[in-house]
Amino acid sequence: MTTQQLVSEINRKKSFLCIGLDSDINKIPQHLLREEDPIFSFNKAIIDATQHLAVAYKPNTAFYEAEGLAGWTSLQKTIEYLNDRYPEVFTIADAKRGDIGNTSSMYAKAFFENLGFDSVTVAPYMGKDSVEPFLEFHDRHTILLALTSNPGAFDFQTKSLDELELYKRVLETSKTWKNAQNLMYVVGATKASFLADIRKIVPDSFLLVPGVGAQGGSLLEVCEYGLNETVGLLINASRSIIYASDGKDFASAATSQAAALQLEMEQVLNAR
Amino acid sequence: MTTQQLVSEINRKKSFLCIGLDSDINKIPQHLLREEDPIFSFNKAIIDATQHLAVAYKPNTAFYEAEGLAGWTSLQKTIEYLNDRYPEVFTIADAKRGDIGNTSSMYAKAFFENLGFDSVTVAPYMGKDSVEPFLEFHDRHTILLALTSNPGAFDFQTKSLDELELYKRVLETSKTWKNAQNLMYVVGATKASFLADIRKIVPDSFLLVPGVGAQGGSLLEVCEYGLNETVGLLINASRSIIYASDGKDFASAATSQAAALQLEMEQVLNAR
């Protein structure tokens, strides 16, 4: 998917909501455990119930890998369902991969070719040649970790690296990489005030913002500092939507939670 | 596996060789493509042909994920084969994972419980709470990226972070984490002279050293700077061993390459 197509969808749906499919067999409603593939059934129901309110879905690979082959099967069925049924939504493999060049090429193949995601999250620690193999793919997007939403973000990311905080150094340096136009960045909502500085370095890039909802970040604060001319934001919520209810009404409860966030987003977009 | 068991195996085999199973369907000998699971058949033959010379095997998850479900199946069969047939070898999932706490717990479950690896490689960028969930597992090992073997290592890892290079800061900081005794570190062989400094920070830890062989690192130089009292090194070679021949003699060619490295290691151990 092109960035322009993503922006069109955002304007059409008046939403820049991404829903994180952190689907855990121990947390989904009990009655789904009777299904042949409970995780896929859960994801399908969540997607069908929210697809008019969200522009992106983000399965987190850890939750699928934890179940081994069965989990990888659920992941594959989920991305196939999204691509077949809702080709207009943007898909993100939240995989946080990254390795030496020839290995990163294999990860890029895994997520862009084999599974068919529009984008994948990538860790920057190993530098340029660990990221560029992902950037080679036309109309696919590499979402680089810059400033994450967890407490450990302050261990290294916010420390000064040659007089510039590491996450800013990552942003600056990544702009010089080949096909940098295919980069987006992960910036945690729990550090919304950092977004002003980040926008000075990457004014035009899309930012994927986790941490709204269960992790406590504020949507309005993120918008205040993070919006750019083409919106430029995907705000992710996972647990607060997908686990809104653990009963048979889980899908409609997810609709309600997603609708509340979409409404806030619509108001923000209308107020611009 | 305990560290003590690993050290015993090193002394018994006079080897600290780790063989990287970067098994690529496009590079394995053509005649194997007729097998039901060519990648597993390849791995099994390589393992059988080298298990008396190596103390560890390191499947790189990227190469398996690139083939989707079939690849994950090959990975699962490979680790099951290693655990059943050669329980004395140390197994490493080279996965370079890392995410926020609740997600890293799922990755730890995937590799330690579901697949049953002794260890997994983890990226440090997201800090303490992204690594500690791996460290909770008793007699399982978390191999943290410190200084990697690729050119991109110089983009961030060797830059100064608050007056200490990032990779040294990672080493220092990680020592304060809960269950830090379960940490090992990745240190690339292409930067062997850095090992002297690294040993000052982590004198007792095991170091997994990639980059010998295809990537050009020197075994003797690594030993000169990296050996400690209990050896403390696992030196990895992947492509130079597993792709030593692309003919029907690939397994015996792998034996020869592994034997040459084992002999060098035996000489180093005898000379101490």
Per-residue model confidence (pLDDT) at position A163: 82
Q: Which of B28, B74, B77, B103 to mutate to test the interface with A (most CBs of A within 10 A)?
A: B103
In the set A14, A44, A77, A96, the catalytic residue is A96
**Spatial distance between the Cα atoms of B212 and B19, rounded to a whole number of angstroms:** 11
Compare all CA atoms of chain A with the CA of B162 and give the residue at the minimum distance. A160
Render pLDDT for B119-166 as a digit per residue (tens, 0 to 9).
999 999 999 999 999 999 999 999 999 999 899 999 999 998 878 999
* Sign of the CA dihedral with A212 first, then A217, A220, and A223 last: negative
Render pLDDT for B177-210 as a digit per residue (tens, 0 to 9).
999 999 999 998 877 779 999 999 999 999 999 9
* A205 pLDDT more than 80: yes
Q: Which helix (H) or strand (E) holds A198?
A: helix A194-201
List CB contacts (< 8 A) between B123 and chain A.
96, 98, 123, 125-126
Render pLDDT for B20-58 as a digit per residue (tens, 0 to 9).
999 999 999 999 999 999 999 999 999 999 999 999 999
Residue corresponding to tokens 């390849």: B42
Q: How confident is the model at residue A272 (pLDDT cuts 50, 70, 90)?
A: confident
Per-residue model confidence (pLDDT) at position B141: 98
Q: How confident is the model at residue A240 (pLDDT cuts 50, 70, 90)?
A: very high
**For residue A127, which of A161, A86, A155, A94 has the smallest C-alpha distance?**
A161
Q: What is the CATH number of the domain that holds B178?
A: 3.20.20.70
The domain total for chain A is: 1
Q: What average pLDDT does the segment A99-108 reach? A: 97
**For residue A251, which of A42, A38, A25 has the smallest C-alpha distance?**
A42
List CB contacts (< 8 A) between B113 and chain A.
66
* A193 pLDDT more than 90: no
Q: Which of A115, A150, A159, A174 to mutate to test the interface with B (most CBs of B within 10 A)?
A: A150
Option in B76, B131, B152 nearest A129 (CB): B152
* B174 pLDDT more than 70: yes
A106 with B24: Cβ contact below 8 A: yes
* B214 pLDDT more than 70: no
Q: How confident is the model at residue A214 (pLDDT cuts 50, 70, 90)?
A: low
* Sign of the CA dihedral with A83 first, then A85, A87, and A88 last: negative
Render pLDDT for B54-76 as a digit per residue (tens, 0 to 9).
999 999 999 999 999 999 999 99
Share of chain A above pLDDT 70, in %: 99
* B216 pLDDT more than 80: no
Option in B65, B114, B155 nearest A68 (CB): B114
Q: Tell me the CA end-to-end span of chain A in Å, nearest whole number.
A: 26
List CB contacts (< 8 A) between A37 and chain B.
none
Does residue A96 carry a catalytic annotation?
Answer: yes
* A73 pLDDT more than 90: yes
Per-residue model confidence (pLDDT) at position A162: 79
Q: How far is CA A210 from CA A121, A179, A216, A269, in A?
A: 12, 25, 10, 19
What predicted TM-score, i.e. pTM, was given to this entire model? 0.97
Structural domain containing residue A62: 3-271
CA distance B84 to chain A (A): 18
Q: What average pLDDT does the segment B105-121 reach? A: 98
Share of chain B above pLDDT 90, in %: 91
Compare all CA atoms of chain A with the CA of B176 and give the residue at the minimum distance. A155
Per-residue model confidence (pLDDT) at position B211: 82
Option in A66, A76, A173 nearest B155 (CB): A173
Q: What average pLDDT does the segment A56-72 reach? A: 98
* A32 pLDDT more than 70: yes
Per-residue model confidence (pLDDT) at position B192: 77
Render pLDDT for A147-158 as a digit per residue (tens, 0 to 9).
999 999 999 999
Render pLDDT for A2-20 as a digit per residue (tens, 0 to 9).
999 999 999 999 999 999 9
CA distance B179 to chain A (A): 16
CA distance B72 to chain A (A): 7
Q: Which of A156, A171, A209, A212 to mutate to test the interface with B (most CBs of B within 10 A)?
A: A156
Name every residue whose Cβ is closer than 8 Å to that of residue A167 and which is 6 or more positions away in sequence: A146, A147, A153, A157, A158, A194, A198
